[in-house]
Amino acid sequence: MFTLLFTNKTMKRAPGKGPAGGSQHRPVPGGCVPLDSLPGGGGGTVRSIGGASTPLRQRLMELGITIGSEIRVVRKAPFGGPIEIAVRGYRLSLRMAEAEMVMIHAGK
């Protein structure tokens, strides 16, 4: 997301902030990107799920988002809203904060 600074009725992007909705790819070691940075129609294989033993990590795994599973981004809501994904034959909506915890090896 980006932060707007209002100065004399002009808008400019705050330094170091990317476009809204996480649309930029933020690669990490191993060639993985966060799920929230994939464009609509993009996908790949789950490589890791962030948060060591958090209830959210456990819930994502119960919903079928496990290491090695294939995920495809169906669509993204505007302005940082939820992201709809296809995983294991069904569709699931995640908040952007939840989606950024899932690291994907993009390729499909």
DSSP 39-80: PTT-EEEEEEE-STT-HHHHHHHHTT--TT-EEEEEEE-GGG
pLDDT of residue 26: 53
**Helix and strand numbers, DSSP H then E, in the chain:** 2, 8
pTM of this prediction?
A: 0.69
Low-confidence winner among 29-33, 60-64, 77-81 (lowest mean pLDDT): 29-33
Quick: pLDDT tens for 37-59.
999 999 999 999 987 778 889 99
Domains by residue range for the chain, with CATH: 22-106 (2.30.30.90)
